[in-house]
Amino acid sequence: MMVSLHETMLTASAEPVYKDRVTTMLEYPWEGGRYTSRAKSLVELLNEYLKELGAPLAKPIEIRYVDGIGPYVTITLHCNASLALKYWIEILDKLQGYNIPIFIRWTGNVDVPPEVMGAYIGKALAKMNIFLATEKQFDIARILREEWET
């Protein structure tokens, strides 16, 4: 999936579309001598997994929609960036089979250098098969050189 950098930055202001998204998860509790299955929402699965991880949820999980990406999940954690970024990768590893992008926000400080944050973001985007694209070309080498010189 190709997403422009501009569209990716707009996801923060996208409107919630789904209160909940349902997916069927097979469970195997032994009830009366038989296996059963029950439908669980994606939000319910995420809440269970976040609780299992011990991740401090700051506000309810949101499922939103934006053109170019489609539906995606936003999770806001009550922690610093370093911990939120680690949780993000763990969440993506656990739920990558659902093919819905999951983005993390945090309420605490940004306690990682830009290059570390960039590495986590790159890894997360790759796990979600999201590739950034710009509307027009630019010379990143020139921009970085100018930044390093100042």
Give pLDDT, residue 26: 43
Q: Is the pLDDT of residue 70 over 70?
A: yes
Contacts of 149 (CB under 8 A, 6+ apart): none
pLDDT band at residue 89 under the 50/70/90 scheme: very high
The answer to whether 124 and 88 have CB atoms below 8 angstroms apart is: yes
pLDDT band at residue 5 under the 50/70/90 scheme: very low
Give pLDDT, residue 144: 79
DSSP-derived 3-state class of residue 43:
helix
Q: Is the pLDDT of residue 23 over 70?
A: no
Reported as a single tens digit per residue, the pLDDT across 122-141 is 999 999 988 777 778 888 78
Give pLDDT, residue 147: 83
The torsion angles phi and psi of 28, rounded to 5 degrees, stand at -125, 50
Beta bridge partners of 18: 63
- Amino acid identity of residue 28, one-letter, is Y
The answer to whether 42 and 102 have CB atoms below 8 angstroms apart is: no
Q: Is the pLDDT of residue 35 over 80?
A: no
Instruction: Quote the domain boundaries for residue 52.
Output: 2-149
Give pLDDT, residue 32: 61
Six-digit token string for 4: 């422009």
What integer best gives the mean pLDDT of the chain?
78
**CA–CA separation, 140 and 62 (whole Å):** 34
**CA–CA separation, 69 and 121 (whole Å):** 16
Number of domains in the chain: 1
